[in-house]
């Protein structure tokens, strides 16, 4: 609930993948928050005020005033919010460790590979066929793995939707919009549609604004 007057959470974001993940979680959890739009692609992440919150100059950043806490890294923020409300993550035991393992997988593998794929296939001023191929291959490895992980379940942790789904959805949403199709992966495609049908997800990917129109995808 994006309603500044009663919020004790400040959410610094822009309309891109890692920000959308946190927006989806805030919406799913029904938390009150105030959005601060930081156009990191126009240099606003480099202002002294913002660098004091995140020295890397990237969004998302979350400040929980009540807890006197500033957090960066989207998956750490997802875990914090889920724990704060006591929903969307197993509270303890093996199931919680599995959730954390999958969050690390998302942050260390899906995010960087999809990020580089997007950069070389969509945004790079120069066409670098080797890099396009390399990250298309890495993206396909992620897709095959995720399709396999979802082969006997509706969500990453089983039948319960969780922050792991939100973490993976952010990049799948952006890469799908950029023309990276999921048709070859039935389990992954079914999951993508299931998660995308949730009202909080549909709202989250428009906060503070939807993804921009993207340039055409380069082919190697
Ligand atoms: N590992 C970070 C990545 C954050 C990130 O790359 N944010 C992007 C937007 S989605 C950004 O701020 N880019 C601007 C820049 O790199 O200067 C996370 O998961 O939060």
pLDDT of 155 reads 98
What pLDDT score was predicted for residue 171? 98
Percentage of the residues of the chain whose pLDDT score is greater than 90: 93
More confident residue, 83 or 209: 83
Largest CA distance in the chain: 51
Assign 35 a pLDDT band (cuts: 50, 70, 90). Answer: very high
Contacts of 35 (CB under 8 A, 6+ apart): 2, 11, 13, 207, 208
Class of domain 93-198: mainly alpha
What residues have CB less than 8 Å from 211, skipping those under 6 apart? Answer: 15, 16, 173, 174, 177, 205
| Sequence-distant (≥ 6) Cβ neighbours of residue 174 within 8 angstroms | 16, 17, 20, 114, 118, 211
Pocket residues: Cβ below 6 A from ligand 1: 16-19, 40, 45, 57-60, 73-74, 107, 111
Would you state the pLDDT for residue 138? 98
Residue 213 has pLDDT above 60, yes or no: yes
pLDDT in the model for residue 7:
77
Residue 178 CA from chain centroid, whole number: 15
Mean pLDDT of 40-50: 97
Chosen CATH of 4-85 out of 2.170.120.12, 3.40.30.10, 3.20.20.70, 3.30.70.20: 3.40.30.10
Can you tell me the mean pLDDT for 28-41? 97
Distance between CA atoms of 54 and 62, rounded to whole angstroms? 10
CA 62 – ligand 1 centroid, Å: 13
What's the CA-to-centroid distance between 213 and ligand 1, angstroms? 19
Q: Is the pLDDT of residue 177 over 70?
A: yes
Residue 40 CA, closest ligand 1 atom number: 14
Best residue among 42, 46, 58 to mutate for probing ligand 1's pocket (most ligand atoms within 8 Å of CB) is 58
Phi, psi of 39 (to 5 degrees): -80, 85
Q: Could you tell me the distance, in angstroms and rounded to a whole number, from the CA of residue 3 to the centre of ligand 1?
A: 25
Give yes or no for residue 1 having a pLDDT over 80.
no
Region for 11 from its dihedrals, namely left if φ exceeds 0, alpha if ψ lies in -120 to 50, beta otherwise: beta
Going by pLDDT thresholds of 50, 70 and 90, the confidence category of residue 121 is very high
Q: Domain residues of the chain, as ranges? A: 4-85, 93-198
Helices (H), ranges, 16-65: 17-29, 48-53
């Amino acid at each position: 609930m994006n309603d500044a007057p009663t919020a004790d959470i400040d959410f610094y974001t822009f309309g891109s993948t890692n920000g959308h993940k946190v927006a989806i979680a805030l919406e799913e959890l029904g938390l009150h928050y105030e959005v601060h739009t930081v156009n990191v692609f126009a240099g606003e992440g480099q202002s002294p005020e913002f660098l004091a919150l995140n020295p890397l100059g990237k969004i998302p950043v979350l400040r929980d005033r009540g807890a006197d806490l500033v957090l960066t890294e989207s998956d750490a923020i997802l875990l914090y919010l889920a724990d704060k409300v006591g929903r969307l993550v197993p509270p303890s035991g093996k199931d919680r460790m599995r959730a954390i393992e999958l969050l690390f997988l998302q942050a260390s593998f899906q995010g960087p590979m999809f990020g580089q794929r997007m950069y070389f296939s969509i945004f790079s001023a120069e066409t670098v066929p080797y890099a396009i191929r390399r990250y298309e291959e890495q993206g396909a490895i992620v897709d095959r793995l995720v399709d396999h992980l979802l082969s006997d379940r509706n969500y990453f942790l089983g039948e319960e939707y969780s922050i792991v789904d939100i973490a993976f959805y952010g990049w799948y949403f952006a890469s799908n919009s950029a023309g990276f199709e999921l048709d070859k992966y039935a389990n992954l495609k079914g999951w993508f549609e299931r998660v995308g049908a949730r009202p909080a997800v549909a709202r989250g990917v428009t906060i503070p604004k939807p993804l921009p129109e993207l340039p055409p995808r380069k082919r190697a």
